[in-house]
């Protein structure tokens, strides 16, 4: 039997209502920063423009106008998305460097990321530094250092450190986590529900 290949449907002509419907469909499913949404939608616009021989500048302007309107209405909110992303990434044990790069790749301004990281630092008050907690979370998730079986710990030490450094944690902090003798010592200063 010959495999059947699904043919790609012809793109729809770019109109204001089509863009509005497409953006609403996308944003009902996924929250995303404005630049990221624009980048995704420009792929569709370019394909439709080439197929229907429309004016690219005119269609791009229409897309930008629609995105601006959605931003005014609060449907697209870079700050909201970045706050949620920061909370999620910290919960998964991501470093500040990783967070900056991931948000930059999504089109979030570096000034907004810096502002959110500063707010995070201020909100923590007496609690341990968010970077330190993220480093411990990452080690626990990957079973590095004191979270590793004792018979494998020494053999895997350098690889554990390298992985932590590649993921954006500074060497000194990574070494402190990996070289901590036991989990209890590492977790003693962390707040409940860390």
> How high is the mean pLDDT in each 10-residue block of the chain (194 residues)?
74 95 96 97 96 96 97 96 96 95 97 96 81 93 95 95 96 96 87 66
CB of 179 closer than 8 Å to CB of 144: no
CA distance linking residue 68 with residue 79, whole number of Å: 15
Domain that holds residue 112: 78-124
Is residue 88 situated within a structural domain?
yes
Provide the pLDDT for residue 3.
62
Number of domains within the chain: 3
Provide the pLDDT for residue 2.
61
Burial class (CB in 10 A: 0-12, 13-18, 19+), 151: exposed
Number of helices (H) and strands (E) in the chain: give both, helices first.
10, 0
Is residue 6 situated within a structural domain?
no
Is residue 9 situated within a structural domain?
no
Provide the pLDDT for residue 118.
94
User: Do residue 181 and residue 150 come from a single domain?
Assistant: yes
Which phi and psi angles does 12 have, rounded to 5°? -80, 155
Provide the pLDDT for residue 193.
66
Provide the pLDDT for residue 129.
86
CA distance linking residue 32 with residue 36, whole number of Å: 6
Is residue 11 situated within a structural domain?
no
CA distance linking residue 192 with residue 59, whole number of Å: 52
């Amino acid at each position: 039997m010959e495999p059947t290949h699904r043919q790609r449907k012809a793109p729809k002509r770019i109109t204001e209502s089509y863009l509005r419907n497409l953006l609403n469909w996308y944003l009902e499913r996924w929250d995303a920063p404005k630049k990221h949404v624009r980048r995704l939608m420009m792929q569709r616009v370019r394909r439709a423009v080439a197929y229907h021989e429309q004016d690219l500048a005119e269609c791009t302007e229409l897309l930008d106008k629609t995105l601006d309107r959605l931003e005014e209405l609060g449907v697209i909110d870079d700050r909201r998305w970045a706050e949620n992303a920061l909370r999620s990434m910290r919960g998964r044990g991501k470093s500040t460097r990783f967070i900056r790069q991931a948000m930059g790749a999504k089109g979030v301004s570096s000034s907004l990321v810096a502002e959110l990281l500063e707010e995070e630092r201020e909100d923590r008050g007496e609690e341990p530094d968010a970077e330190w907690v993220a480093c411990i979370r990452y080690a626990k998730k990957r079973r590095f250092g004191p979270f590793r079986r004792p018979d494998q710990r020494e053999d895997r030490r350098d690889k554990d450190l390298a992985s932590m450094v590649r993921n954006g944690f500074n060497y000194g902090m990574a070494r402190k986590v990996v070289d901590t003798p036991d989990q209890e010592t590492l977790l003693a200063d962390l707040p409940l529900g860390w």
